[in-house]
């Protein structure tokens, strides 16, 4: 990356540009994202700025040009595609600003830092100060590589070892104990053998489910920083969800209802993951409400469009709701429901789970730039609400106005 910066910096200071560029000045004007930031470098009476913009846009790495006051002057197409509206927050990060201030003309440095909002992203920036003999002196070139995936893989590997060793210990100990019993006291007792083998099979299935959930959670975390690109109909998500949920309540007394109407709207989403979110919420309702209300358990699924304001963000959205009439959850448990391995267990239910289902839901909703909310009162059931931004055919806008560089 340093070689790439050296190459571009040399191009900026070359004689060809010097002869074309006499003077430049900076001004700040609001500019929507529909007008590509590469135009910030366009000159008013020539072609040098356009040539420079085109050169930067052809680079395979995400590159930003940063002004002497630390604000963004230009982001090439790769950087726009990779970071979108968060590009300005990235440039304003204190670690990057400190690295820029430490640079001298023609020197290079590197820094790595993390953005925690809206989701965790790890950024590695390679910086090069434009030489003083260039008409663009004072600017800084930055190759801003996203190392989130590598960081997530490392964290996932460590988390998997820690969680698996902790959670698998109990069922594994039970299986080993029954094996020792079958080899010893129960070696000649067919009835005890069948009983113990049944328990061992159940414990083995529990370990398999736990491992499957851990692996799925790991995959979700690796992709959490990448917003989905597909635009899907809400009706398609609901149809798939209800078809899969029907199999879960077969041979039970549970009633699953889809409350009309289903709005004719679209969301930018990974359809498979959103179906998984709703299935996980329905499974929770079946597990905890269905185990108590064995005769009249009802689970309602509904979808509403939401206007800006209230408890949701200030933009149009779609609200998915899964509500049951089960025993409910005490208020002190609600803030911790999405923690890994956190379980709400009590006398009202003997059901237990891996404690990963709602954690998976939370990570998927975060990937979709959505919101998750739980509400409940003891004896009145649980309501789970998932909000996703509605896909409106209007281009998004920058959170802060970018800087335009005019050439004269």
- Tell me which residue of 371, 351, 376 sits closest to 361, measured CA to CA: 371
Query: What is the Cα–Cα distance from 157 to 43, expressed in whole angstroms?
Result: 49
Fold matches, 148-226 and 229-393: no
For 236, half-sphere exposure in the C-beta direction (CA atoms, 13 angstrom radius) is 14
Q: Which residues pair with 63 in a beta bridge?
A: 143
- Tell me which residue of 205, 221, 222 sits closest to 168, measured CA to CA: 205
What topology is assigned to 229-393 in CATH? Heat Shock Protein 90 (3.30.565)
Determine the pLDDT at residue 346.
55
How long is the chain?
Answer: 408
Q: What's the pLDDT tens digit per position in 270-295?
A: 999 999 999 999 999 998 887 777 67
Give the mean pLDDT of 293-310: 86
Cα-Cα-Cα-Cα dihedral of 358, 363, 369, 374, to 10°? 20
Determine the pLDDT at residue 44.
34
Q: Which two tokens stand for residue 271?
A: 């359809």
- Tell me which residue of 375, 405, 390, 397 sits closest to 88, measured CA to CA: 397
Give the mean pLDDT of 314-321: 91
Q: Quick one: 2-146 is in which CATH superfamily?
A: PAS domain (3.30.450.20)
Give yes or no for a contact between 404 and 40, defined as CB atoms under 8 angstroms apart: yes
Determine the pLDDT at residue 28.
34
Output 14 or 277, whichever has higher pLDDT.
277
Burial class (CB in 10 A: 0-12, 13-18, 19+), 12: buried
Query: What is the Cα–Cα distance from 250 to 240, expressed in whole angstroms?
Result: 16
Output 17 or 140, whichever has higher pLDDT.
140
Query: What is the Cα–Cα distance from 281 to 321, expressed in whole angstroms?
Result: 9
Q: Look at the alpha carbons of 269, 270, 271, 274 in this order and tell me if their dihedral is positive or negative.
A: negative
Give yes or no for a contact between 126 and 110, defined as CB atoms under 8 angstroms apart: yes
- Tell me which residue of 143, 144, 149 sits closest to 120, measured CA to CA: 149
The pTM assigned to this predicted structure is: 0.58
What topology is assigned to 148-226 in CATH? Helix Hairpins (1.10.287)
Determine the pLDDT at residue 401.
40
Q: Mean pLDDT of all residues in the chain?
A: 79
Burial class (CB in 10 A: 0-12, 13-18, 19+), 394: exposed
Q: What share of the chain is helix, strand, coil (3-state, %, to 5)?
A: 45, 20, 35
Q: Which of 83-87, 119-123, 149-153, 255-259 is least confident? A: 149-153
Domain edges within the chain: 2-146, 148-226, 229-393
What share of the chain in percent tops pLDDT 70? 77
Q: Given a cut of 80, is residue 7 above it in pLDDT? A: no
Q: Which two tokens stand for residue 306?
A: 């939401």
Determine the pLDDT at residue 319.
95
Q: What's the pLDDT tens digit per position in 339-353?
A: 877 877 654 555 556
Determine the pLDDT at residue 56.
87
Residue 49 pLDDT level (bands cut at 50, 70, 90): low
Q: Given a cut of 70, is residue 359 above it in pLDDT? A: yes
Residue 73 pLDDT level (bands cut at 50, 70, 90): confident
Tokens 């726009």 locate to 80
Output 64 or 42, whichever has higher pLDDT.
64
Give the mean pLDDT of 65-83: 88
Q: Given a cut of 80, is residue 25 above it in pLDDT? A: no
Q: Look at the alpha carbons of 36, 41, 42, 44 in this order and tell me if their dihedral is positive or negative.
A: positive
Q: Given a cut of 50, is residue 231 above it in pLDDT? A: yes
Rounded to 10 deg, the angle between the 169-183 and 190-223 helix axes is: 160
Give the mean pLDDT of 388-394: 77
Give yes or no for a contact between 248 and 282, defined as CB atoms under 8 angstroms apart: yes
Determine the pLDDT at residue 400.
40
Q: Given a cut of 60, is residue 43 above it in pLDDT? A: no
Determine the pLDDT at residue 192.
84
Query: What is the Cα–Cα distance from 325 to 327, expressed in whole angstroms?
Result: 7
- Tell me which residue of 305, 298, 162 sits closest to 235, measured CA to CA: 305
Give the mean pLDDT of 115-133: 84
């Amino acid at each position: 990356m340093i070689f790439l910066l050296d190459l571009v910096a040399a191009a900026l200071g070359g004689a060809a540009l010097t002869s074309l560029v006499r003077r430049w000045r900076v001004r700040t004007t609001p500019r929507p994202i529909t007008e590509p930031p590469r135009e910030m470098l366009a000159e008013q009476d020539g072609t040098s700025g356009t040539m420079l913009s085109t050169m930067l846009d052809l680079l395979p790495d995400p590159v930003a040009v940063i002004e002497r006051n630390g604000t963004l002057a230009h982001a090439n197409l790769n950087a726009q595609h990779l970071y979108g509206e968060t590009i300005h927050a990235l440039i304003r990060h204190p670690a990057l600003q400190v690295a820029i201030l430490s640079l001298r003309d023609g020197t290079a440095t590197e820094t790595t830092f993390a953005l925690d909002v809206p989701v965790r992203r790890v950024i590695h920036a390679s910086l090069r100060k434009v030489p003083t003999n260039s008409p663009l002196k004072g600017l800084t070139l930055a190759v801003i590589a996203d190392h989130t995936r590598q960081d997530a893989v490392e964290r996932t590997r460590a988390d998997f070892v820690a969680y698996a060793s902790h959670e698998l210990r109990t069922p594994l100990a039970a299986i080993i104990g029954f094996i020792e019993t079958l080899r010893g006291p129960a070696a000649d007792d067919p009835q005890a053998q069948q009983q113990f083998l049944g328990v061992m099979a159940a414990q083995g299935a529990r370990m398999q489910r736990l491992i499957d959930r851990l692996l799925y959670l790991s995959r979700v975390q690796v992709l959490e920083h990448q917003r989905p690109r597909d635009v899907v109909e809400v009706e398609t998500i609901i149809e798939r969800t209800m078809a899969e949920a029907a199999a879960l309540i077969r041979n039970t007394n549970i009633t699953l209802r889809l409350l009309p109407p289903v709005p004719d709207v679209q969301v930018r989403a990974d359809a498979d993951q959103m179906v998984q979110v709703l299935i996980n919420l329905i499974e929770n309702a079946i597990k905890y409400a269905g185990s108590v209300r064995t005769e009249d358990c009802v689970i309602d699924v509904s979808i509403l469009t939401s206007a800006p304001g209230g408890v949701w963000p200030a933009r149009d959205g779609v609200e998915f709701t899964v509500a049951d009439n089960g025993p409910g959850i005490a208020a002190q448990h609600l803030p911790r429901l999405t923690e890994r391995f956190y379980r709400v267990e009590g006398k009202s239910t003997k059901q237990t789970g891996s404690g990963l289902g709602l954690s998976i839901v939370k990570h998927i909703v975060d990937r979709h730039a959505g919101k998750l909310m739980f509400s409940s009162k003891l004896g009145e059931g649980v309501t789970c609400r998932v909000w996703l931004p509605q896909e409106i055919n209007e281009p998004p806008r920058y959170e802060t106005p970018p800087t335009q560089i005019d050439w004269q």
